[in-house]
């Protein structure tokens, strides 16, 4: 085991010792072997680190780490000086196009499958950005628009997808804009800087696609720890394309990405996703089949190149601070399987609304088979977490969502998946376009939307495996809700905050009114119809409801066992101050009087289509005995509904994260 040292005062011709460090991390990456540690000392490194080789096992990794107590910044941007004042708040600079190599972000559009543009409005955007003292700017379409932005007092911005006008997160940032023209020899950029002199401040432009990302597959067992990683011109990452991020393993196994500050990815910050051979924006490039069809094909193509536990996935993404990214904080399709995403702080994802597509969220995963999402703080995102296709064996535990437009969206999946001990405190808590979910001991303070999906059949798998067992459409239901607390609200206001389709929404579980109350009732409905597959059509699946609490206008389905309904005021919000997060509640006494016993996997019905139980990763029945703040529920205890073992009545403040 060798330590290889890197410092800004070093020399790539040196031997890499602490007294003779290398100059670049990428040079160290070319020398590192399994078991080695690359120690990077304080400073800014403007490079794309491409690990050449990986470790051999979880205990023989290659580790890249910031030196203890030292701040190391790795950036995909270059500093730019020599700005010329053109008046009206507009500055101009030209840089040689050779600076970018084959990847000029100012010539490459944000585009691909599922991106949405209004061509009439000429709103196409590029991968470039201009940063003033580390903070990005808005792209304009002309020099005149840059000048207009310089004096803007814009406090609201239109969402290009919903048409809804939302508050601007950073008003000063709207006065910073840029426009570029790319020539054969030079790229010229015009920019406004909110009154600042760009020659007296730090101004950077992004020039590299990624910051820490191998350029080949199966570079396994890498640890990246303790860095600031920033400002990459990474492309749009739909599930039908290559998915390069600012940082990621590029179709490998066993990476650990921990204790980093990661920000200003043009699209996705951390990618644990797909590679190009299984499809690369074919729906857009070829135009002959739908993105849905190409995505379905990608699953089978991935199996042919070794999509399984032995070769891909099993990553750990923990204790990172991820913010200010245009598309995703964490993204993945196929390559995310068997991974753990825990204790991350993710916020301000897609809040600038420069572009829109159907693949945007703080965490956006497809095929999140046996993925654990635990203890994360996710707020101020257009959508907190979006689990799309093959959400099977997935577990969301003890996460705190707030100030998102929507907290959780689970789409066209068959389960089983488990959502337990979470706080969903945004105006829209859940969009459920799936089946086979178990929701246990959550606080659901916003609206719940239910929808079946009969025009897209999606795969399901053998338990704890990537092997495809079959595929089917989503009839809805096959869900279980036990021991949750729901709050009511104003549905129109909730969806005005940024979602859609509230005609099938409500507060609580009343939306399940037409679903069978038991599996026997479901079978009885089948017996009333004739034929083979036709008797299953339009027959909703059973729903199990038990011990839920409905407050302030929230309602359950009629006939729910042990339901508690309390009208009158009830309030929930989340407050944050730096790293401290407090759950502020004011609940009626009756809300805490309802109790349920400890719930485990044996208490949850087997899901119908996937024919699988809610289990631990090793196949044993799921254990659901740890509350939001880490306290255990005993098997012989009786507990109030909600995410805390002692959810208080009356006004209360509970520290839930620090």
User: What confidence tens digit (pLDDT) does each residue in 553-578 have?
Assistant: 999 998 898 899 999 999 999 999 99
Q: Judge whether 198 and 91 are in contact, CB under 8 Å.
A: yes
Peptide bond into 199 cis (omega under 30): no
Q: How far is the CA of 348 from the CAs of 263, 360, 581, in angstroms?
A: 10, 12, 17
Contacts of 14 (CB under 8 A, 6+ apart): 20, 21, 22, 23
CB atoms under 10 Å from CB of 253, counted, come to 24
- How would DSSP label each residue in 13-74? TS--SSSS-BS-HHHHHHH--TT-EEEE-SEEEES-B--S---SBTTB-EEEEEPTT--EEE
Residue 35 region, left (φ>0) first, then alpha (ψ -120 to 50), else beta? left
The pLDDT tens digits for 22-40 are 999 999 999 999 999 999 9
In the predicted model, what is the mean pLDDT of residues 60-76?
98
Residue 501's pLDDT is what?
52
Q: What is the dihedral of CA 158, 163, 166, 172, to 10 degrees?
A: -10
Structure tokens at 400: 């705190």
Nearest-angstrom CA–CA distance, 64 and 222? 8
Residue 450's pLDDT is what?
94
Backbone angles phi, psi at 488, to 5 degrees: -85, 180
CATH 2.60.40.1180 fits 78-206, yes or no: yes
Residue 47's pLDDT is what?
98
Nearest-angstrom CA–CA distance, 16 and 387? 43
Share of the chain above pLDDT 70, in %: 95
Q: What is the dihedral of CA 473, 474, 478, 480, to 10 degrees?
A: 140
> At residue 495, does pLDDT exceed 70?
no
Residue 485's pLDDT is what?
97
> At residue 161, does pLDDT exceed 70?
no
At 456 the three-state DSSP class reads strand
The pLDDT tens digits for 293-314 are 999 999 999 999 999 999 999 9
Residue 420's pLDDT is what?
98
Structure tokens at 340: 């753990």
**Residue 12, burial from CB neighbour count under 10 angstroms (0-12, 13-18, 19+):** middle
pTM of the model: 0.96
Contacts of 616 (CB under 8 A, 6+ apart): 601, 622, 623
The pLDDT tens digits for 132-141 are 999 999 999 9
Residue 490's pLDDT is what?
83
- The CATH architecture of the domain made up of 222-566 is 3 Solenoid (2.160)
Residue 534's pLDDT is what?
81
Report the DSSP pairing between strands 84-87 and 77-79.
Answer: unpaired
Q: Judge whether 281 and 274 are in contact, CB under 8 Å.
A: no
**Average pLDDT of the chain, as a whole number:** 93
> At residue 156, does pLDDT exceed 90?
no
Q: Judge whether 161 and 169 are in contact, CB under 8 Å.
A: no
Nearest-angstrom CA–CA distance, 364 and 255? 18
Q: Where are the domains of the chain?
A: 3-57, 78-206, 222-566
Structure tokens at 166: 């939302």
Q: How does residue 264 score in pLDDT terms, banded at 50, 70 and 90?
A: very high
Q: How does residue 165 score in pLDDT terms, banded at 50, 70 and 90?
A: low
Q: How far is the CA of 316 from the CAs of 42, 89, 371, 395, in angstroms?
A: 25, 46, 10, 14
Residue 124's pLDDT is what?
87
**More confident site: 12 or 536:** 12
> At residue 500, does pLDDT exceed 60?
no
Nearest partner of 73 among 198, 211, 200, 208, judged by Cα? 211
In the predicted model, what is the mean pLDDT of residues 143-171?
73
Q: How does residue 152 score in pLDDT terms, banded at 50, 70 and 90?
A: confident
**More confident site: 498 or 18:** 18
Distance of CA 365 to the CA centre of its chain: 7
Length reported for the chain: 658
Nearest-angstrom CA–CA distance, 56 and 560? 53
Residue 573's pLDDT is what?
96
Nearest partner of 320 among 377, 265, 273, judged by Cα? 377
Q: How far is the CA of 101 from the CAs of 24, 75, 96, 98, 105, in angstroms?
A: 19, 17, 10, 5, 10
Residue with tokens 């916003």: 446
Q: Judge whether 302 and 251 are in contact, CB under 8 Å.
A: no
Alpha-helical segments (H) within 442-528:
491-496, 519-527
Residue 536's pLDDT is what?
84
In the predicted model, what is the mean pLDDT of residues 125-153?
93
The pLDDT tens digits for 418-451 are 999 999 999 999 999 999 999 999 999 999 999 9
Q: How does residue 497 score in pLDDT terms, banded at 50, 70 and 90?
A: low
Residue 120's pLDDT is what?
47
Nearest-angstrom CA–CA distance, 227 and 220? 20
At 592 the three-state DSSP class reads helix
Contacts of 432 (CB under 8 A, 6+ apart): 410, 448, 449, 450, 451, 479
Nearest-angstrom CA–CA distance, 262 and 323? 7
Residue 163's pLDDT is what?
58
Least confident of 53-67, 199-213, 517-531: 517-531
Q: How does residue 70 score in pLDDT terms, banded at 50, 70 and 90?
A: very high
Share of the chain above pLDDT 90, in %: 83
Nearest partner of 137 among 82, 86, 192, 209, judged by Cα? 192
Residue 212 region, left (φ>0) first, then alpha (ψ -120 to 50), else beta? beta
In the predicted model, what is the mean pLDDT of residues 190-216?
97
- 3-class SS string, 132-147: ECCECCEECCCHHHHH
Report the DSSP pairing between strands 356-357 and 115-116.
Answer: antiparallel
In the predicted model, what is the mean pLDDT of residues 350-359?
89
Distance of CA 263 to the CA centre of its chain: 14
Contacts of 238 (CB under 8 A, 6+ apart): 112, 113, 114, 115, 281, 291, 357, 358, 359
In the predicted model, what is the mean pLDDT of residues 593-598?
83
Residue 465's pLDDT is what?
98
**More confident site: 124 or 430:** 430
> At residue 121, does pLDDT exceed 60?
no
Indicate the DSSP class of residue 612: B
Q: How does residue 383 score in pLDDT terms, banded at 50, 70 and 90?
A: very high
> At residue 232, does pLDDT exceed 90?
yes
CB atoms under 10 Å from CB of 411, counted, come to 20
């Amino acid at each position: 085991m060798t330590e290889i040292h890197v410092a800004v005062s070093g020399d790539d011709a040196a031997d890499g010792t602490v007294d003779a460090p290398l100059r670049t991390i990428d040079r160290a990456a070319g020398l590192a072997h399994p078991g080695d540690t690359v120690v990077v000392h304080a400073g800014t490194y403007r490079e794309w680190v491409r690990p050449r080789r990986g470790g051999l096992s979880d205990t023989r990794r290659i580790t890249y780490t910031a030196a203890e107590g030292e701040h190391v910044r790795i950036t995909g941007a270059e500093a730019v000086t020599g700005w010329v004042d053109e008046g009206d708040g507009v500055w101009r600079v030209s840089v040689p196009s050779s600076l970018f190599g084959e990847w000029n972000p100012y010539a490459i559009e944000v585009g691909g499958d599922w991106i949405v543009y209004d061509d009439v409005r000429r709103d196409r955007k590029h991968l470039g950005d201009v940063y003033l003292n580390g903070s990005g700017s808005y792209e304009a379409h002309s020099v005149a628009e840059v000048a207009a932005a310089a004096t803007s007092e814009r406090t609201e911005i239109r969402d290009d997808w919903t048409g809804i006008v939302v508050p601007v997160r950073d008003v000063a940032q709207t006065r910073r804009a840029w426009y570029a023209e790319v020539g054969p020899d030079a790229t010229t950029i015009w920019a406004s800087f909110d009154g600042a002199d760009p020659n007296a401040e730090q101004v950077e432009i992004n020039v590299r696609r990624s910051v820490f990302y191998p350029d080949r597959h199966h570079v396994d067992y890498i640890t990246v720890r303790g860095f600031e990683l920033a400002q990459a011109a990474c492309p749009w990452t739909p599930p039908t394309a290559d998915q390069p991020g600012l940082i990621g393993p590029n179709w490998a196994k066993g990476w650990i990405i921990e204790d980093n500050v990661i920000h200003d990815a043009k699209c996705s910050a951390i990618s644990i996703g797909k590679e190009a051979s299984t499809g690369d924006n074919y729906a857009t490039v070829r135009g002959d089949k739908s993105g849905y069809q190409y995505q379905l094909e990608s699953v089978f193509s991935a199996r042919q190149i070794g999509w399984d536990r032995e070769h891909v996935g099993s990553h750990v993404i923990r204790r990172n601070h991820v913010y200010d990214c245009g598309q995703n904080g964490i993204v993945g399709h196929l390559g995310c399987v068997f991974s753990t995403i825990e204790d991350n702080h993710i916020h301000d994802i897609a809040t600038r609304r420069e572009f829109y597509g159907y693949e945007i969220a703080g965490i956006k995963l497809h095929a999140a088979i046996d993925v654990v999402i635990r203890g994360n703080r996710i707020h101020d995102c257009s959508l907190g977490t979006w689990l799309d296709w093959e959400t099977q064996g997935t577990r969301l535990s003890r996460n705190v969502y707030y100030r998102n437009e929507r907290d959780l969206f689970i789409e066209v999946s068959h389960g089983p998946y488990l959502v337990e001990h979470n706080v969903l405190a945004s105006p829209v808590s859940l969009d459920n376009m799936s089946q086979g979910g178990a929701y246990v001991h959550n606080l659901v303070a916003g609206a719940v939307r239910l929808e079946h999906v009969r025009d897209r059949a999606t795969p399901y798998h053998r338990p704890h495996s990537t092997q495809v067992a079959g595929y089917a459409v989503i009839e809805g239901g096959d869900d279980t809700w036990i021991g949750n607390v729901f709050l009511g609200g104003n549905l129109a206001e909730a969806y005005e905050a940024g979602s859609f389709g509230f005609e099938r929404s409500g507060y609580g579980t009343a939306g399940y009114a037409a679903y069978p109350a038991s599996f026997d009732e479901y079978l009885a409905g089948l017996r009333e119809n004739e034929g083979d597959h036709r008797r299953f059509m339009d027959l909703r699946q059973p729903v199990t409801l038990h011990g839920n609490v409905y407050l302030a206008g929230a309602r359950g389905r009629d006939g729910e066992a042990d339901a508690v309904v309390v009208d009158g005021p009830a309030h929930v919000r989340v407050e944050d101050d730096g790293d401290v997060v407090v759950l502020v509640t004011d609940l009626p006494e009756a809300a805490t009087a309802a109790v349920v016993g400890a719930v485990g996997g044996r208490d949850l019905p087997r899901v119908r289509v996937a024919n699988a139980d809610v289990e631990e990763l090793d196949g044993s029945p799921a254990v659901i005995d740890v509350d939001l703040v880490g306290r255990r529920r005993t098997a012989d205890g009786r507990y109030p509904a909600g995410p805390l073992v002692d959810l208080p009545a009356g006004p209360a403040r509970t520290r839930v994260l620090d």
